[in-house]
Every structure is written in C-alpha cells, then in structure tokens.
Amino acid sequence: MPADPARSYKWVTVVCSLVSLLFLIAAAVRENISADWRAHQADFRAILEAKSKDAAGRAAARRLPIEIRQVTVPALHAVDRCVSCHLGIDDPRMADQPNPHRTHPKRLLAIHRVEKFGCTVCHQGQGAALSFQEAKAEDYFWDYPLLPAALTEATCASCHNPRALPAGSADKLVLGMALFEQKGCNACHKLDGKGGPLGPALNNVGLKTKHQFVRANLKGSQTTWNWLAEHFRDPAGIVAGSLMPSPALSQPQVEALTIFMLSLRARDLPAEYLAPDKIDEQYARLHPPAPDGAALFHRYCAACHDTGLYSRWDKKFQRFVPGIRNAAFIRTEDDECLGENIREGRPGTRMPGWGPKAGGLSEAEVAALVAYLRTSAPAMPLPPAPAHGDAHRGGTLFFQECAGCHGVDGKGLIAPALANPVFQRAATDAFIAQTVRLGRENTPMPAFGRAGFSETDIGDLLAFIRGWQPPARSQQP
Amino acid sequence: MPDNPKRRDLLGLAALWSAVAAMGTALAGVMRLPKPAVLPGPLRIYKLGDPAQFAVGSATRMEAGGFYLFRGEEGFHAISSTCTHLGCVVALNEGEGFACPCHGSRFRTDGSVSAGPAPAALPWLEIALSPDGQLQVNAETQVPKGTRFRV
Amino acid sequence: MTPAKEFLENLKRTPQNLRESMLRNGKAPESDRERSQSTFHNFFLHLQSVRVHRHSLRFGYTFGLGLILTASFVVLTFTGILLMVYYKPGAELAYDSVKDIHFVVPAGRFIRNIHRWAAHLMVLAVFLHMARVFYTGSYKRPREFNWVVGLGLLVFTLGLSFTGYLLPWDQLAYWAITIGANIANSPREVTDAIGITVWFDPGRFQKQLLLGANYVGQEALIRFYVLHVAVLPLALTALMGVHFWRVRKDGGLSRDESLPAPPARIGDADVAVFAPNKTYGLMAVVRGRTPEVDRAPEGTVASWPNLMWAEMAAFLFTIAVTLVLGYFFDAPLKEMANPAIPENPAKAPWYFLGLQELVSYSAFMGGVGIPTIVLVGLGLIPYLDRDPRGVGVWFGGPAGRRTFWQSLAYGLLSVLALLVFTVNFGWLRAWFPAIPQIAIIVVNPATVIVALYAAWSLWVLRRTASIRLSAVALFTCFLAGFIVLTAMGSIFRGPNWHFYWWPSQWPTH
C-alpha cells in the first residue's frame, strides 16, 4: 500500500487550524474579557451600589451597563472615551474615591460640562483610546500627549485671559506670563509679531509637537514640556551653541514658564467656547493702551542693555553693549537720532531694528521708548562740527587712535561700528565731533579733545569717517 | 484496499473538522465587526439648566434633543417628537396635540394616537435632576405615560 | 395525484431538491468517478483539473507559493471588505476612522493587523514565487505568456500595496506617498536636464494623474482609495483568472519530462499508466467502462481529495501565519499626516526600500529608469531563452547551480562594494560640485550596478554560450542587488538618509 499523497498536507491543515483557533480565542479573550475598562466599570458599579441609600438605587446601580462610553463634541472635533474608565467624573458622590472613579477636582466640571467640552480640550491626550497608556500617549504616535496635572493650567489660556481668572485658578500661568516680561525674553523672541529676531519666534509653541524640537541632547521623557523645562534650566545644554543666557530660575519658575510656553496656542475654537475676557484680551491686542516706555525698555531692551546706564561687555556676543541710558550719551543725541537707531537697529551687529517692519513696535511705542531714554538727560545743543578736512590725514589719525577699538575697517571691535549705514545716516557730524571731543563717560571712549586733538584733527577724522558712506543728514546743529 | 483505513480517515477528518472549527470561529469573530461597539454621535442625555427657568404651563420644543418639555401643575414631563410610525418629526399644535407631516398621524397632547397610521403613542422620556442640580432629560430611556417629575 | 397533493409533495421535497440542484451531484462524492464529476461540475472546483500530477503536489518544488498567494489575496479581500465598513476615505476623517478601528471596532484592531500582515506576506510570496518559477525554468514554452501575466500580477500586487499605504493618512503614509508621487514626477529630471520640460512634461502629467493635484490631499486620497478597493482588486482578480486558466491550459505545473513517470493512482491503488501517443484534451478519467479501465495517465492522482488537501493546507497556513503575526504585532499607525512636519526618515514599505535607496542617487533612474529596465527585461526572458531543455529542474542542472552561486557571490559583492564606496566617499557631486544633473542621471551608483550586472551576464553568455545560464546570472545578480539594497534602505538608513549601523544609533531629532 503506497503512502497517502496528501498525508503531510493533512497534518499541516490540522496544525494550522489549531493554531488559528488558539489565537482567535486568545484575541477574543483579550478584547472582550481582559480589557481594563471593563474591570474599572465593574468596580464603579460596586462603589455605586455601596453608596446607594435605598433598594431602588442599588438596583439601578446593578443595572449599570458595562459598555464603551464616550463624549462626542462635534464643535471641538473631539470623541473622548476617557469616561469609559472615569465614570464618576461629574458625580459629586465620588469625591472620596480613588482614581479612575474620583470626581473631577475643584468642581470644575460644573462650569465646564463634560458633554460640552469633553476632556482632551483641556487635558490633551488621545481621547479615542481605551487604555490608560494609549490615552496618555507619551512615547506613542500621538501629537499631543496627556498633560501632566501640574501643567494643565496651560490650556486654560485657549479660552480665557489667565489674568482675568480668579486667584487660585491659573496662578502658575500668570506667574509665567509675568516672568516672560520681566526676564526680557522678547528681546530675542518674537511673540505676536513683536520682539527681537535672534531666537525663534514663540507663536504657537504650545501647538508644536515633539518632532519640531531638536531633542538630540534631551534626556528622559521626550515630551515638549520636558524639553521646555530642561531648556529653561540649561539652554545651551539642550540646543548646542545657543546664545540664550541661563536665566537662573527656581523650579516653580521653570514650571511657570513651561506652562506659559504650552499656553501659546491659537486654537480655532468656536466663539461660544471663548470667555468674554478672552475676547477682551484679543481686542486689547489690536487696540493697545498708551505705551509705557519703562515697561517697553524692560521687555525689549534690558536683556542686552541691562539698566542701560553703563556700557557692558557681553561674553556671548564678544563685544561691548553700549549704555544707552548713559546721560553723557543721551545728552549728545537728539530724539530723531535715537528714534532712527531704535527703528533701524545696527545692521551687522546684534542690535536688531525695532520699527513696525522689523521688531514690530508701533511708532507710538518707539516714541515712548525715546521719551523714556530722554529722562536720563535733556538733549544738549551741540557745538558745530569743524569743516571736513584732509581725509588722508584723518585716516592716519584713525589708525593710530581709534582702530584699536572701532576696528581698522570701522566695522567695530569692542566699540560700536562706525562704518555702519544706520550710524552714518543717524549720527550728525556735530554728534561725532562732540563725542570725539568729550569722550563718553562710564565707557572706555576717552575725551580726545582733552588729549590734544585740535578742531582740525577732528575735521580730518570726520572726512575720513564720512568716507565710509556719505551722510544722509548734512550739517545740522 | 488500504491496510489501515481507520487511521487515515481519522487524520483527514481531524484536519477537516479543525479547519471547519477555525473558520467558524473566525467567521463568528468577523460577524461581530459590523455591530458598532459604541454608537457615534453626542450623548442623548440633555442637561437643560436650572428647572426654575421653565414657567408652569409652558411647553418648550428641544430641537436638538427631539422632544417637547412640558411643565404643568404636577411637575415636568417630556414627550418625544419622533413619530412612532416612520420617524418623522411631529409638530405641536397648541391645544390640538401633535401632527406628523409625513403620513398624517395625529397624537393627543398626552402622546396617544388619535388618527393616522402610527402604531403607538409618542413615548414619554425620563427626567431627572443631574448631580450638579440641572434638569436632565434622557432621550434614550422611556417612562410610563403620566410619570411626572417634581423638582 | 391531485394538484394539491402534488404541491404538498413538492413542498416536502424542496430541501432535498434544493440541495441536489445546488450541488449538481447532490452529495459528497464517494467513488473516483463521483469525485471527478464533483470537480468537473462544481463552479468553485472546476478551476482544478480532475487529475493532478504527483510532481505538482511535491512541496519541495513549489513551496505552495502560488497557493499562499491566492490564499493571502482571499484573506486580504475579506479583511479589506470588513475594514471598508468603518473606514472613511476623507482627509479629515480617515485617520480618526482608522484609530476607531484600532480602539473600538469589535475585532477591528485584529482584522487591520491581519490585513497588513497578509499584504506583507503576499508581496513576499509574489517575489519568491517569481524566483521559483524562474529558477525551475517554468517560464519556457508553452508557458511564456503566463510568465508575462505573472509579471502583471506582480505589478498589481505592488500597486495594491502602495495605494493601501496612503489610506491610514498618518505621517508614514503621507510622506511615503509624497515621495512616491514625486518619483512619478521624476521624468522631469531628464526633461529639465535636456531643457524640453516646457513642451513635453510627462512627469507632471503622471503626478497629477496620480494625485489629482500637485500635493497629497483629499483628491489623492480618494484616487488611491478607488484604486485600492475597486480598480486594482478587480484587475488583479481578472488577471489571476487568466493566470490559473493558463496554468491548466499550458499543461499544469512544469515538471521534468525526461524523468520516468511515477505510477498513477486510482482509488487507493497504484495502477499501470498509459502514455497517450496522441494529444487530446483529457476531460476526466474515471473508474468504469472506459477504454482504459483501471489505468490512468502517467503519474497522476485524483485532484479530489489530494490537490484539495494541498490547497486547504496552504490556505490555513496563510491564515495561521497572519493570525499569529496580527496577534502580536500591531500594524503601524503614526501621528496624523502633517504637511508641515516631514517624517525623517520617510520610509516606504520594505519592498520599496531597495528602490528608495536607488532613488537617493537619482530619482529618475532609481524610480522610473531601472524599474522599467527590470520589468521589460523580466518580460523578455522567455522570448530570449527559447532552449526547451531544463524545464522543471532547479537551476536547469549542475551548470546552472554553479552559475547561480557564482552570480550570487558576484551580485552581493559588487553591490556591497559599491555601497561601501558610496557611503564612505560620496558620489560625483561630492567631488565636482558643478557637475550637470544629466551626468548624475547617467552615471550614478544605480546605473553602475546595473552595468556591472549586465557585464557579468554578458561574460557568462560568452563563456557558456547559453542564454539560459546568462539569464540565471542576471536574475541572480538582480535578486542579490534587491536583497542588499532593501536591507540597506530598511535597516541601515536613518534620519536624512544617513548611514547607521543600527536604528538604535539614530539621533533623536
């Protein structure tokens, strides 16, 4: 009797069928019996039954179906299944229960009804998921993982003006906003179109995903908030070569700034979700009140110029930052010249332009800044400059006396650049001549007038310096 | 004739029936798929706010919820505005009752059928007070006619 | 019999009549004759011949690859239809609907995983099946055209895979399809280089045909969806029908006709064979009063049940493999597609990563030029190699086996050497920054490797004077190149398409 030709195939069929059967049953068990949310709902049912005061309540609790629950909020494009485990979230009787059964803290859901808001609009996370790990969605393919409880204040700003909220609601966020202004972050970072160009603009930082941050040096949790916090602690440790100073922040300050960064999110929310104070805040941004020069100086200038009373050596920039509130300086500059410098900046240096087209300050704000600088000293009528002399001789003088600080090509070393278009345009001959004569108090610029420079020497120097670019504004007192 | 017919048959039968069992189980699992595990759309439980805002004797149409809310001397009741015939939306004519525009069914003010093809009365819906003190109508749950909710 | 009685009688017998009319034979067959009839008369079974050669049932010859392919297509069709119940082909909806399939649809996650794994299995099997057919010389006369049909099936299979890749609308999908669409656009590289794009722009035409726009968006999604669920499955099914039909009409599976035939079997007994000395179409050989009672055509056994057991085994094997893989490994689903954040690296499915490696040298050559050369070359094989010897023999005999191993070594070494060189020293543009693009299109690692392989194959042709051996050499070289380049693209390329020894070395970016 020859062997059955199909024998081996029958064996394969038996084995494969049994394997298939096994895994089908395993998959059915995994999905229908051992899911976490089923256990949580069974627990909740028991708690509800224990808390019921009468037989009807107990019967109702026992009838509570075990099923997937979800909050659908079409206006927010949200389908949040968090309530499949957090069944007691809006039930005040569950305040004494452990998570996931506990009532939402602070009675917040009384004013933010779950049916209207869902969960993820405030907490982020993957609302569609049915297990905690997938809902939390850290290290998961999801753009906005669950915010840690300590940082949840950040999302209040989506609908509220945080400063208009009652005390105790968003204190850390308000602190972060204040720190942002105090620490002069705007000097380098644009926000809503205003600020310096040195660092990245911060609009919608809260909507960025972790893939938009360079995380090569980030240890630990790869979330955006961990990146922000670590970056506030040590900017150059996270972004190699960063010019951002280490601001020496305490842990609560780091947290507050992180929350503020996460709150920067322009979400396209329906108007019915916006609090009136949020609309007021947006209105105020378009119609700003009269600008306050001191606050503007603090917010946009102080990060580099410090108090502005003295020039200071900046290690990161490797040059002197002029003391722009120095009375000796302010006395020699007229308002027009100050305004021009603020509007245009100093191309080629770290000083950016702050006019409406660059740093985003309005003309009114520039004027307020000039007025604030002017408080140091009134503009002094300058003695007239000598007539331009021999540029060749002026060049020789320049190389001997000036090039050491201002650079042989006038591009500036530790002292400001003179071969700079804005300087050439803004500075009058009278201003240059007076500065050479009297020097600049509280800076390394000596008074050459007292060191034996004659008016002819100064005329020759002027001719040489003006050789870099013809003056835009000719002789004016 | 085969030497050992029993054994070969056994293997073949085992293979056949294990395959049938596996495919049957797979089919059973697959047949579960089309039935949704959770119904899409917003929850059909409507919180209507403070009960005091509804005057005694008022009838309020809740378009989103698909029901009418009545407040009488004896308390609140809610009647579904979905026709029991084929699902059109009935209109409340003051004092006459409900009328369905699709096939001419008529209902009295308590929801019972007065004319037309509708096979059953308009259902009364469950009303409760939510844990945070709002009037809450559960459009998924029916209550017997005449059940009133007192605040 | 009164009409009323007759009516009742008929009503009573309806179940039995229904069954008999449905099955034609009316019951499970018990004899060889009935089995033959069942095979012959049943719509689903008539695809098989009534008797099948023992050789065709040998696992070591076919590895059941054709059956596994068919089975995985059936699995894909079933799971695909189930997924269509919940999938929503809209740019705003697709991702969420796939998430819902993953999280809440009953058995949805499992079914999607099975669909993905069956797709991988099908692509793998289609490559292996082609290699098996090639190395056993099964493409030779009279099976040349079925080889071409098979190539069509390969293209449709890859097309199904590619179109299905976009549907989840996640980052992986979005960027892989963006790359794919720009490969369709890559003839522009050539037309730009010779300056005729203004008049003749096939790249743009192809890209817009594929995407319905200049970017991957809603229009592209619906096009890919239609291709994936309707056009390509129908085309594949039709071509599969032709493929099966030709397998039978071209004489069943190929076998070495020079070997003595094994005995045939009727019932449970081996019987003498008759060798037909004239050609005729054999409809059925059954026990009974026929000219050749108790004798069967050489080496055959009844298809029912022997072939059917093989089919059953392959089908259940496919199901078991996809179930086990689907149970343990979820189909990937990354973040929702975001045109602002490129995926880095943006990798296509594994079987395209060899091409993606070539594309990283020249989009046109890697994405259009070389695939076209390969497909045309493959299609020409049976028409260039007309030598009827060696059909049904692995590699056509010892000489072919030797050529295979030599070519494998040559193919692996040359592509590895070229990759090592390119990774370490770069290519033309690294040395001559101003070099015109046309030079890079013509001379790049992709064209060099093709030239090296062609040279080797020509050398084999000269040395052995055998087209068959030369074809074995070329096919093997390309197989080696495909494997190495695929591994290169899958494993050794990381962010910015830089070389890394292992994905764990990738920098976080």
What confidence tens digit (pLDDT) does each residue in A150-174 have?
Answer: 999 999 999 999 999 988 889 999 9
Nearest residue to C441 (alpha-carbon basis) of C452, C422, C420, C427: C427
Does C314 share its domain with C447? Answer: no
What confidence tens digit (pLDDT) does each residue in A240-281 have?
Answer: 888 888 778 899 999 999 999 999 988 888 888 988 888 888
User: For residue A123, what are the domain limits?
Assistant: 37-55+69-146
In chain A, residues with a C-beta closer than 8 Å to the C-beta of C104 are: 68, 81, 128, 130
| CB atoms closer than 10 angstroms to residue C117 | 25
Asked if residue A436 is part of any domain, the answer here is yes
CA atoms within 13 A on the CB side of A79: 17
Does C272 share its domain with C382? Answer: no
Asked if residue A152 is part of any domain, the answer here is no
Asked if residue C366 is part of any domain, the answer here is yes
Query: Where is the domain boundary, C319, C343, C367?
Result: C343
Whether the CB of B143 is below 8 Å from some CB of chain A: the reply is no
Give the helix, strand, coil percentages of chain A, each rounded to 5.
50, 5, 45
| CB atoms closer than 10 angstroms to residue A234 | 13
Question: Six-digit token pair at C205?
Answer: 């035409």
Task: Output the CA torsion C56→C57→C62→C64 (10° steps).
Answer: 130
Q: In terms of pTM, does the model score above 0.90?
A: no
In chain B, residues with a C-beta closer than 8 Å to the C-beta of C106 are: 32-33, 35, 37
Does A169 share its domain with A255? Answer: yes
Distance CA A449, CA B115 (A): 112
Segment (H or E) for C271: strand C269-271
Nearest to B11 among A7, A28, A72 (CB): A7
Does C132 share its domain with C185? Answer: yes
Asked if residue A12 is part of any domain, the answer here is no
Does C269 share its domain with C363? Answer: no
Query: Where is the domain boundary, C343, C362, C378?
Result: C343
Does C268 share its domain with C147? Answer: yes
**CATH class of the structural domain B45-143:** mainly beta
| Residues in chain A, overall count | 477
Does C374 share its domain with C406? Answer: yes
Asked if residue A279 is part of any domain, the answer here is no
Collapse the DSSP code of C142 into the 3-class scheme (helix H, G, I; strand E, B; otherwise coil) and give the result. Answer: coil
| CB atoms closer than 10 angstroms to residue A100 | 21
Residue A75 DSSP code: G
Q: Do B38 and A68 touch (CB under 8 A)?
A: yes
Segment (H or E) for A313: strand A312-314
Report the complex ipTM: 0.88
Does C401 share its domain with C285? Answer: no
Does C499 share its domain with C431? Answer: yes
Does A362 share its domain with A407? Answer: no
Nearest residue to C283 (alpha-carbon basis) of C24, C32, C48, C40: C40
Distance CA B79, CA B96 (A): 15
Q: H helices of C91-143, where?
A: 94-103, 108-135
Give the residue from A13, A212, A223 with the most C CB atoms within 10 Å of its CB, the best one to mutate.
Answer: A13
Split into its structural domains, chain C has a count of 2
Does A132 share its domain with A175? Answer: no
Strands B75-80 and B124-129: antiparallel
Asked if residue C334 is part of any domain, the answer here is yes
Asked if residue C489 is part of any domain, the answer here is yes
Whether the CB of A24 is below 8 Å from some CB of chain C: the reply is yes
Whether the CB of C268 is below 8 Å from some CB of chain B: the reply is yes
Distance CA C310, CA A125 (A): 49
Asked if residue A432 is part of any domain, the answer here is yes
Give the C-alpha distances (Å, rounded to integers) separating C156 from C303, C356, C374.
30, 19, 16
Split into its structural domains, chain A has a count of 4
Query: The domain spanning residue C216 has which CATH number?
Result: 1.20.810.10
Quick one: closest CA in C to B19, which residue?
Answer: C316
| Residues in chain B, overall count | 151
Asked if residue A14 is part of any domain, the answer here is no
Q: What is the pLDDT along chain C (509 residues), one digit of tens a residue?
A: 789 999 999 999 999 888 888 776 667 777 777 777 778 777 778 888 888 888 888 888 889 999 999 999 999 999 999 999 999 999 989 999 999 999 999 999 999 999 999 999 999 999 999 999 999 999 998 899 999 999 999 999 999 999 999 999 999 899 988 988 888 888 888 888 888 888 888 888 999 999 999 889 999 999 999 999 999 999 999 999 999 999 988 888 888 877 777 777 777 777 766 655 545 555 555 554 444 555 566 778 888 888 889 999 999 999 999 999 999 999 989 999 988 888 888 888 888 888 889 988 888 888 889 999 999 999 999 999 888 888 888 998 899 999 999 999 999 999 999 999 998 888 888 888 888 888 888 888 999 999 999 999 999 999 999 999 999 999 999 999 999 999 999 889 888 888 888 877 777 65
Does C314 share its domain with C417? Answer: no
Does A325 share its domain with A412? Answer: no
Spell out a b/e string for B64-75, using b for 16 or more CB atoms within 10 Å of the CB, else e: ebebbbbbeeee
Distance CA A53, CA A61 (A): 11
Segment (H or E) for B11: helix B5-32
Distance CA A422, CA A348 (A): 10
Asked if residue C15 is part of any domain, the answer here is no
Distance CA C198, CA C190 (A): 12
User: For residue C126, what are the domain limits?
Assistant: 30-343
Beta bridge partners of C177: none
Question: Six-digit token pair at A470?
Answer: 């013809």
Strands C296-297 and C273-274: parallel
Query: The domain spanning residue A352 has which CATH number?
Result: 1.10.760.10
Quick one: closest CA in B to C315, which residue?
Answer: B19
Distance CA C186, CA A52 (A): 71
Asked if residue A425 is part of any domain, the answer here is yes
Asked if residue A83 is part of any domain, the answer here is yes
Where along chain B do its domains lie? 1-35, 45-143
Whether the CB of C305 is below 8 Å from some CB of chain B: the reply is yes
Does A241 share its domain with A193? Answer: yes
Does C276 share its domain with C308? Answer: yes
Distance CA A49, CA C372 (A): 71
Asked if residue C218 is part of any domain, the answer here is yes
Spell out a b/e string for C312-327, using b for 16 or more CB atoms within 10 Å of the CB, else e: bbbbbbbbbbbbbbbb
Does C249 share its domain with C369? Answer: no
Does C326 share its domain with C197? Answer: yes
Query: Where is the domain boundary, A323, A348, A374?
Result: A374
